[in-house]
């Protein structure tokens, strides 16, 4: 296990390194030199932020054109234009979550075999596509805001460097590894691909953070709270802490001083009270330790490895049928962790609408954007009708006792308010009138 040392400890003969003198090794750049990716077509930030004019029609407002986008709305548009509109409106988001294309080179379809989107961009084109939009997201993000970019292995390294450039390395919080599925059995010459990744950054060091926790499993509880008495399971912890104190916590208690270089965690009178309450354990050698009992609703903080948020993996899970739909419990956790009630949550690649759904039931304001017509239909249907059990992904009749017909499967609304707006980019609306009519019918 690596152990970090401070500067005063990095001295002496054991710190000797095999470093030659002279000019045999070219000098390194200063440590403060920023790392950036270079490629043709990389726009300056000032050019990315040049205003772009857009107008939208609201499906609830008889197609009247307007420029301003309001919260609790889905926008069928290229997010380049929608993000510009949000920047120019001055609206600020506490949380931005995005699950963009991964540069897989694949196309994706819904459970009804409708085309959803092409993931065709790669290399510099992909990086610049994302970089321009991330610059706009930085402008939309509140000073106390957080951004999570959900990405596959294909471009996680390139996007990490890009986000360091845009948000600053000091704004980086985590690379989270999420186990996305239970198993992959088709790999022969490499390790199975079980994980995807989430890059977590904040706008500043002062950001909204509500520590997310999970329920520990029985194995962890048995290991951590390994002792039992008539009051329940408990663990033993020291009653002293590092550091010398000259006050009450540095004096004798029960005829003993704290160990060298340490002090009691509590004043002697408090230790007496704990002992009288049966909360001090005395070892055979007379060493006191405190009993800490297992709380009724014990939670443990999430780490940067998420094993409990896998995507839909059995037929009873409620889904929309949109490809790459993410675990809904994960979305609720993220919204709770990085936003407050009434705060704005933005998803500029909103897909099936999971982010907006989570924000809605947790009483946040929300805006979702997607250029996919399938995503637009899925989102409207989700907020109007809820989701269905997954069943057979391609929509065939289910066998067994669960459901006899996927169309007749029960639908669960999950407390969706139903009070939302749908905006369509005016240019898209004029070019795709049949699709606009279809959206309007779904929205009614």
Task: List phi, psi (to 5°) of 353.
Answer: 90, 15
Lowest mean pLDDT among 170-174, 191-195, 407-411, 421-425: 407-411
- pLDDT bucket at 402, cuts 50 / 70 / 90: very low
- Looking at the domain assignment, is residue 20 inside a domain? no
> Looking at the structure, do residues 98 and 195 belong to the same domain, yes or no?
yes
Dihedral sign (CA 332, 338, 340, 345): negative
The sheet that has 305-306: what strands, in order across it?
65-66, 56-58, 421-425, 73-76, 365-370, 344-347, 93-98, 141-151, 195-202, 172-179, 305-306
3-state secondary structure 344-401: EEEECCCCCCHHHHHHHHCCCEEEEEECCHHHHHHHHHHHHHCEEECCCCCCCCCCCC
- pLDDT bucket at 399, cuts 50 / 70 / 90: very low
- Looking at the domain assignment, is residue 26 inside a domain? no
DSSP per residue, 135-182: HHHHHHEEEEEEEEEEE-TTTHHHHHHHHHHHH-GGGEEEEEEEE--S
Determine the pLDDT at residue 191.
Answer: 86
CA distance 208 to 338: 5
- Looking at the domain assignment, is residue 324 inside a domain? yes
Q: How many domains does the chain have?
A: 2
Q: Give me the residue label for tokens 């294909």.
A: 154
> Looking at the structure, do residues 365 and 330 belong to the same domain, yes or no?
yes
Query: What is the β-pairing status of strands 107-109 and 300-301?
Result: unpaired
Q: Is the pLDDT of residue 139 over 50?
A: yes
CATH assignment at residue 166: 3.40.50.150
- Among the candidates 250, 272, 293, a domain finishes at 293
> Looking at the structure, do residues 236 and 375 belong to the same domain, yes or no?
no
> Looking at the structure, do residues 335 and 360 belong to the same domain, yes or no?
yes
CA distance 280 to 288: 6
Tell which residue, 186, 194, 162, 149, has the closest CA to residue 346: 149
Which helix (H) or strand (E) segment is 292 a member of? strand 288-293
- Looking at the domain assignment, is residue 39 inside a domain? no
- pLDDT bucket at 401, cuts 50 / 70 / 90: very low
> Looking at the structure, do residues 125 and 230 belong to the same domain, yes or no?
no
Tell which residue, 176, 177, 201, 170, has the closest CA to residue 96: 201
Structural domain boundaries enclosing 287:
220-293
Determine the pLDDT at residue 229.
Answer: 92
Q: Is the pLDDT of residue 213 over 80?
A: yes
> Looking at the structure, do residues 86 and 167 belong to the same domain, yes or no?
yes
User: Is the distance from CB of 77 to CB of 359 less than 8 angstroms?
Assistant: no
> Looking at the structure, do residues 285 and 153 belong to the same domain, yes or no?
no
This prediction's pTM: 0.83
Q: Is the pLDDT of residue 408 over 50?
A: no
> Looking at the structure, do residues 125 and 273 belong to the same domain, yes or no?
no
CA distance 444 to 440: 6
- Looking at the domain assignment, is residue 275 inside a domain? yes
CA distance 366 to 420: 10
Tell which residue, 158, 105, 116, 103, has the closest CA to residue 134: 158
Q: Is the pLDDT of residue 267 over 60?
A: yes
User: Which has more pLDDT, 230 or 64?
Assistant: 230
> Looking at the structure, do residues 308 and 369 belong to the same domain, yes or no?
yes
3-state SS class at 42:
coil
Q: Is the pLDDT of residue 64 over 70?
A: yes
- Looking at the domain assignment, is residue 9 inside a domain? no
> Looking at the structure, do residues 202 and 224 belong to the same domain, yes or no?
no
Dihedral sign (CA 33, 37, 42, 48): negative
- Among the candidates 232, 263, 293, a domain finishes at 293
Determine the pLDDT at residue 111.
Answer: 63
CA distance 272 to 292: 16
Tell which residue, 336, 330, 328, 338, has the closest CA to residue 416: 328
User: Is the distance from CB of 294 to CB of 163 less than 8 angstroms?
Assistant: no
Q: How many helices (H) and strands (E) does the chain have?
A: 11, 23
- Looking at the domain assignment, is residue 24 inside a domain? no
Query: What is the β-pairing status of strands 365-370 and 344-347?
Result: parallel
> Looking at the structure, do residues 358 and 240 belong to the same domain, yes or no?
no
CA distance 380 to 75: 11
Q: Which residues contact 94 (CB under 8 A, 6 or more apart)?
A: 142, 144, 145, 146, 208, 338, 339, 340, 343, 344, 345, 364
| Distance in angstroms between the alpha carbons of the first and the last residue of the chain | 61
> Looking at the structure, do residues 189 and 318 belong to the same domain, yes or no?
yes
Q: What single-letter DSSP state applies at residue 66?
A: E
- Looking at the domain assignment, is residue 38 inside a domain? no
- Among the candidates 293, 317, 332, a domain finishes at 293
């Amino acid at each position: 296990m690596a152990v970090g040392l401070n500067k005063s400890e990095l001295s002496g003969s054991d710190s000797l390194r095999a470093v030659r003198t002279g000019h045999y090794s070219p000098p390194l750049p200063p440590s403060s030199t920023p790392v950036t990716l270079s490629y043709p077509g990389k726009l300056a930030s000032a050019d990315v932020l040049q205003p772009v004019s857009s107008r939208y029609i609201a499906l609830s407002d008889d197609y009247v054109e307007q420029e301003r986008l309001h919260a609790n709305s889905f926008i069928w548009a290229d997010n380049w234009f929608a993000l510009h509109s949000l920047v120019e409106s001055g609206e600020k988001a506490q949380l931005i979550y995005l699950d963009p294309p991964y540069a897989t080179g694949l196309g994706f379809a819904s459970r009804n075999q409708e085309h959803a989107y092409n993931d065709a961009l790669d290399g510099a084109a992909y990086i610049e596509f994302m970089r321009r939009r991330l610059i706009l997201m930085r402008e939309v993000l509140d000073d106390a805001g957080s951004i999570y970019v959900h990405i596959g292995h294909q471009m996680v390294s390139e996007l990490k460097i890009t986000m360091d450039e845009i948000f600053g390395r000091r704004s980086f919080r985590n690379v989270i590894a999420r186990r996305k599925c239970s198993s992959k059995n088709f790999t022969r010459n490499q390790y199975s691909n079980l994980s995807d990744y989430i890059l977590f950054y904040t706008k500043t060091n002062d950001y909204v953070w509500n520590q997310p926790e999970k329920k520990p499993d029985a194995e962890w509880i048995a290991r951590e709270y390994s002792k039992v008495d008539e009051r329940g399971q408990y663990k033993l912890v020291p009653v002293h802490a590092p550091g010398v104190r000259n006050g009450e916590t540095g004096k004798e208690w029960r005829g003993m001083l704290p160990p060298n270089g340490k002090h009691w965690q509590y004043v002697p009178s408090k230790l007496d009270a704990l002992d009288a309450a049966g909360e001090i354990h005395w070892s055979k050698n007379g060493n006191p330790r405190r009993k800490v009992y297992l709380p009724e609703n014990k939670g443990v903080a999430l780490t940067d490895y998420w094993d409990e948020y896998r995507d839909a993996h059995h037929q009873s899970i409620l889904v929309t049928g949109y490809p790459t739909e993410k675990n809904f419990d994960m979305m609720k956790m993220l919204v709770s962790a990085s936003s407050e009630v009434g705060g704005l949550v933005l998803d500029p690649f909103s897909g099936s609408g999971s982010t907006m759904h989570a924000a809605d039931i947790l009483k946040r304001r929300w805006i979702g954007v997607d250029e996919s017509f399938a995503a637009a239909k899925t989102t409207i249907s989700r907020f109007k009708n809820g989701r269905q059990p997954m069943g057979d992904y391609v929509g065939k009749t289910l066998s067994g006792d669960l459901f006899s017909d996927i169309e007749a499967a029960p639908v669960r609304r999950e407390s969706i308010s139903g009070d939302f707006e749908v905006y369509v980019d005016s240019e898209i609306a004029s070019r795709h009138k049949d699709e606009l009519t279809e959206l309007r019918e779904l929205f009614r």
